Structures are given as structure tokens and as C-alpha cells.
Amino acid sequence: MEVSEDAALTTALRRGTIEYCVLALLDKRELYGVELVQQLSTGLGMTTSEGTMYPLLSRLRRNGRIATTWREAPAGPPRRYYTLTPDGEAALTHFRTEWVAFRSGVDRILGTEIR
Amino acid sequence: MMTQTDELVAAYLARVEQAASRLPAGRREELLGDLREHIEIARAESETGTEAEVRTILDRLGDPESIVAAADTQTDIPRVTPPPPFTPPPFTPPPFTPASPPRPNLKPLWVLLGLLAVGAVIVLCLGLAFFVPSDSGPAPSVENAPPAPAATATATVEPSE
């Protein structure tokens, strides 16, 4: 019960933020699916739910915030690289501002400000 | 041809497909394609491609049911976002709807106006047909007029005489 509550909490915390983590990772450089999903799951402690990120990626692609391009790989099958679109870049910039304001508000209320 | 690890992958994808039966066909195919691609590349990158490594790849992907549940929530979010594109049309129809009901009423009016215009043109043409000869009539009568002043002149002359 405590485990499922913890899971519900982390799910709730990730919701609304994870897609901007995707945009931020792609802002650094383009990544193919396996790389992107592994970096996200490692960074956010979701190493046993990499698969759940593909529906998120397809939504971001449908909404025009990311795009994909196929590239030949030196070894193995060609990779489909995810890239940030100008729309995605604008959304990321906006979220960064919103996030800082939101985070400071929560920190003030919780008493968790870094002094 | 199909190895034991291939069977492992096929069984996993079959579980996803079954769980995804509630998704729209397009989303289901996209999800299965993404997962198939992920497994294929992760296997190509794995050092030995042993069964244990494939199991790890599948474990990291996670439970098929929770992947489909994530797809469910992702289909819900765009459903919320489309309304903005949907709201502009409702703004334009109102001007159209008041305009369209009068149209059926205006149609007979236009037909009447058209008929009246045609009628007016016919009347004018007929009128002109009558007036043009009568205009050429008065013209001679104007020529006849000079004798009239002459007559009056004679009339004025007459008293002087």
C-alpha cells in the first residue's frame, strides 16, 4: 500500500514535467529512441518503465514539439533521431520560467528553500 | 530460424498488442512499432545478445499494461488540447447561421426583384418603342410650330392693320 502510494506520488510529480525533460535533453543534442529513453529513465529513476515514454514521445511529435529523422548508424540498423522543433524550443523556454516561479512558491510553502 | 530470445521478444510484443487492443488502431501500431524498434536497436547494441540481456531490455521497457496505460493518458491529453482549434470554427458559424436562414427567405425576394427588373426593362423598352415614334412626331410638329408664331405674328399684325 505504501509502495503504491509512493508510486502514485512520483507519477503525479512526473506528470507535467517529464515532457519538458524530453525537450531539455533534445535541446542539448538530438538523440535516438533508446538513448533518449535511457537518459530519461536514469535521470528520473524510472529504469523499469522506459516503455511508457514512447507514448509521450509520439504525442510530442503529433503536437509538433519534436520531430524525427532517420540516420544510418556505423553499426546495426538505422536509428530514428528525435530533434527539437522551434515550437518545442519555445515551449521549453516558457516552461523554464514557469518552473522556477512554481518551484520557489512550493519551496517557500514547504520550507525547503535552499539558503 | 526463430531463437528462444526471439520468442521472448515476440511474446512480450504480443502482450503489449493484447493490452493495446483498446487503443485506436493507429496509436496501437505506432506504439508497437516504437517498442519493436527499441528492442531491435537495444539488441544490436548489447554486447552478446544473450537471453539474459534481452530479458533486461524487456524488463527496463516495463509491464505491457502500464505502457498501454501511459498511452491512454497520452491520448487523453491531446483530446484536451484540440478544443482551441475547435473553438475558432464555432466563432465563425454564428455569422453564417443568421445569414443562412434569411437566404431562403431572400431567394423569393431576389426572384421577385429580378422579375420586377425584367418587367421594368420590358416596360421601358415598350415605352421607348412608343415614345420614339411619337418623339419623331413632335419633331415635325416643332417644324409646324414656326407657322404658328407666324400665325400669331399675322394675328398681331392683323390688329395693327
Query: Are A50 and B61 an interchain contact pair (Cβ–Cβ within 8 Å)?
Result: yes
Report the gap between the CA of A55 and the closest CA in chain B (Å): 5
Report the gap between the CA of A102 and the closest CA in chain B (Å): 21
Would you state the pLDDT for residue A1? 52
Q: Which residue of B has its CA nearest to A48?
A: B60
Q: What is the CATH number of domain A2-110?
A: 1.10.10.10
CA distance readout (Å), A5 to A13, A50, A66: 12, 20, 32
A31: cell is 538523440
Digit-coded pLDDT (tens) for A39-98 = 999 998 887 889 999 999 999 999 999 999 999 988 888 999 999 999 999 999 999 999
Average pLDDT of the residues in B3-21: 95
Closest CB from B41, B59, B66 relative to A52: B66
Q: Interface pTM (ipTM) of the complex?
A: 0.90
Q: Return d(Cα A51, Cα A55) in angstroms, integer.
A: 8
B90: cell is 464555432
Digit-coded pLDDT (tens) for A22-56 = 999 999 999 999 999 999 999 988 878 899 999 99
Q: Which residue of A has its CA nearest to B67?
A: A52
Share of chain B above pLDDT 90, in %: 37
User: Which residues of chain B are within 8 Å of residue A76 when distances are taken between CB atoms?
Assistant: 41, 44-45
Q: Which of A78, A83, A103 is nearest to A31 (CA)?
A: A83
